Structure 1
Amino acid sequence: MDIRFDGRVAIVTGAGRGLGRSHVLGLAARGAKVAIVDFDPSTDGAPPAASAVAAEIGAQGGEAIAIGANVADAASVQTMIEQVLARWGRVDILVNNAGILRDKSFAKMELADFRLVLEVHVMGTVNCTKAVWERMREQKYGRIVLTASSSGLYGNFGQSNYGTAKAAMVGLMNVLHLEGEKYDIRVNALLPTAATQMTEGLFPEAVARLATPESITPGLLFLVSENAPSRVMLCAGAGTFARTLITETVGVHFPEADRTPEAIAAAFDRISDPTGATGVATAFAQTEKLVALARS
């Protein structure tokens, strides 16, 4: 069955260019009404890039509006949401894509740059998600994507701020999945690798030719579809898709008399043995697992 978004309203942040632009074009091509949200501090209204994307969608027979909003400013986000609701009366899909980079080694990084990246990526995502959450609960339908990164899972030199922010997306996804489940709000994370204006100069030319924004968007469309999964970390780049899974080893219990750092060091290979490793559904489930080992 074809994946379509007819009658659905989607908001994509950071959508004037790059990944966001590709995402809104993909959503519009499959029937969604799209709000193209971007931010340019030099203008009070919609940035020219966002307006150009809206015009492109309109010329193809789709419905789109361009809105200027700073995702790090909760009041600006609320105004943006009100504009979308005034136009279409609902929000079905939110793609948290807006982001910035302020790369520098941790030793040289100013705390202001660390804080700014967290404000945009973490609080920007929180602000937008919070602004649509109650509406999605009421309508008992919502599809939300948080943009994470391999930098948050695996690390990348010079990106302590960005890696921290992107790792936060995993924790937020896990909790929102649990809280939104009974309202059919599905929350997933997309981990893209793409050559965009934000990553200009970071990829060799041969890689950049393959790692296009358009090679990522099919994964995004799946994650916000009617039959989407929830709590999935989908990695995407150059038309290749993979899923990151978090598992936990079985573990080793130490009787109180043997509970020493030396004993842990001696048993660390057994503690780390991936044989029988499984996923853990909730924090309490992990507690129950550890206690069960103590009781066995």
Structure 2
Amino acid sequence: MPVKLGEKLVIAISSRALFDLDDSHQVYEQEGLEAYRQYQIEREDIPLEQGEAFVLVQKLLHINNLLEGESRVEVVLLSRNSADTGLRVFNSIQHYGLSITRAAFAGGRSPFAYIPAFGSQLFLSTHAEDVRSTLEAGFAAATILPSKHRREERDELRIAFDGDAVLFSDESEQIFQRDGLEAFQASEQAAARQALGGGPFKGFLAALSRIQSEFTNSDCPIRTALFTARSAPAHERVIRTLREWDVRLDESLFLGGLDKSEFLRAFGADLFFDDQEGHCLSAVGVVPTGHVPHGVSNRTPKASA
């Protein structure tokens, strides 16, 4: 009988998000595919340095060690490498003791088409085009931005989310950008008891919440937080939406347009997801950050007639 991943939380990750392949990519850009192939083969027994999403993956996989019985988290590698050049990546996975056993090497093409086949709830990549394609296909995805900052040493996994166009649909953000803050606040007050539509990361948050429910509050290895530019009176609709979804969100910060960076530093996020590129560029200096190119803020303006 075929193996099925079932109710697991499945994260798909690119090799460049998991490991630091900047030097290798530079060889590819400057000298071409064959030079890149030789570069990787000659170094396939030299472990790669950790990438931006390495700690996140390490902590996710550690959750399986804390649960009795069947593991609940699966990480699969989706790579534009061929299996030949990807051998160094698998050797590095073994070097660090990561329990990643499944992979798709797409041989130079985008691997995003394999995301539904694996049943992935999230795709992390450094390739913006692949991320956009994944979001357009209806799956959560984020472009991991380079930061190179030091990471805190702790076991608890902390994930932070923006609200509109990430956890929620961008329906309210469209009103804000079209009509301004006053119209946005009035609309949210009028619709305070009407749940927001789900954004691309609703399913991922729900999957995290299911795993959290298997632990007591005191020993849960996952902590989640909402960091939103909303403030009162636009807070009520968010709270009622999360209540209707019946998902766990440990912390909620309604910042009223304040810069999120210092709040993210205080929370100690292992990864922060936001749809607005400006917010991401501000946050990436303090925490690992994933840009979610979804919603009205990421639509290309049409040329005027």
TM-score range, shorter chain: 0.3 to 0.5
Structure whose CA Rg is larger: 1
Structure having the higher helix fraction is: 1
